[in-house]
Chains A and B, each alone.
Chain A
Amino acid sequence: MLRLGVSEQGLTEILAVAEHVNSMAALAEGFRLRPDVPCLAKGPATELVQPLDEAAPGLATETLDQIRKWARSTLGIDHVPAFWRVLARQPRFLASTWAKNSLVMSAAELDEATKACASLAVAMNAHSAYFTSYLNPWVRRAAGLDDNGLVELGAAVMHYVAFNTVAHGMMLEPPFTDMRAEDFRSGGRLANAPGPGAPTPSTVERIDHDDD
């Protein structure tokens, strides 16, 4: 990513997306939440913790109202996803997690489409049926993906998981450490570094041109 002109903050934004989605997926799958986007869950309940009833939100009213509004505009649904209604049993935790979610998932240095794709990739890697369903409408809208585009994303995820396994299996050492964004700029110590993920020639030309 640094090679593509992203700064240290941009890379940290991806770290934030990764840890946030992973942590939410751990709770959702740990509590066996059934996917409820776009439709409410049907069939026998599996949840270990019953989501709070939207009609009786108690101290979580304000945050759940914010989430409902977001869910309507972003996910195209009229209910608050069960994940947030489970957290609503601890209103302070719900409010702080929602605030973090709003910060981490919103465009900053990286745009919303990039964060949406990274979020879905992490949810897929975490094998979270709940969060792949939850994120699907957002990814399609933010990144403009149809089914073909989503398979392109899935193909990339397969590649990353496969190559992570190769790297782990053969205990590969990191090719670079202690990096700075400026290392990858024209004239920097890693400006011409080879390796997987190296930019295409056209990208290199664009980055070089931007530096001029």
Chain B
Amino acid sequence: MPTLRFRRFDEIPPEDQEYVAFLRARLRGREDINGIFGAQAHWPAYMAANHKQALASYQFQGVLSQLAKEAMHVAISMSNGCDF
């Protein structure tokens, strides 16, 4: 079981809703926030900062192929024993 219970979108305070707007659009109608985003949703500003960093790193379309980036991700996750 995850350390913390995942939050639902309706549990995000109004002042933090702007931070989860991107995720609400991505999850298209789902009420719960789970997985890697769920682990960060208790601090929405942090989740949004990570998302922006991901767009500029992992999801950045530069000179590396998507396959190379996936391979790096898998190789590091295997090295770190990451079940997720």
State how many angstroms separate the Cβ of B34 from the closest Cβ of chain A: 8
Chain B residues bordering chain A, tally (CB within 8 A): 42
State how many angstroms separate the Cβ of B24 from the closest Cβ of chain A: 13
Say whether A40 faces chain B, with CB atoms less than 8 Å apart: no
**When A152-B62, A156-B57, A171-B2 are in contact, do A117 and B71 touch as well, CB less than 8 Å?**
yes
Q: Which residues of A contact B39 (CB under 8 A)?
A: 166-167, 169-170, 172
State how many angstroms separate the Cβ of A38 from the closest Cβ of chain B: 22
State how many angstroms separate the Cβ of A125 from the closest Cβ of chain B: 5
For the complex, what is the distance from the CA of A117 to the CA of B62, rounded to whole Å? 14
Say whether B8 faces chain A, with CB atoms less than 8 Å apart: no
Segment at the interface with B among A42-50, A55-63, A84-92, A157-165 = A157-165
CB-CB contacts of B57-84 with A at 8 A, as 1s and 0s? 1111111111111111111111110111
Say whether A199 faces chain B, with CB atoms less than 8 Å apart: yes
State how many angstroms separate the Cβ of B53 from the closest Cβ of chain A: 7
**When A1-B70, A4-B66, A156-B57 are in contact, do A173 and B75 touch as well, CB less than 8 Å?**
no
Asked whether, in the complex, the Cβ of A173 is within 8 Å of the Cβ of B76, the reply is no
Say whether B27 faces chain A, with CB atoms less than 8 Å apart: yes
Say whether A18 faces chain B, with CB atoms less than 8 Å apart: yes
Q: Residue on B with the closest CB to A154?
A: B57
Say whether B36 faces chain A, with CB atoms less than 8 Å apart: yes
Q: Which residues of A contact B58 (CB under 8 A)?
A: 155-156, 159-160, 196-197
Partner of B68, one of A18, A114, A122, A163: A114
Partner of A118, one of B3, B50, B68, B84: B68
Interface residues of B (CB under 8 A from A): 1-4, 26-27, 35-36, 38-40, 50, 53-54, 56-80, 82-84
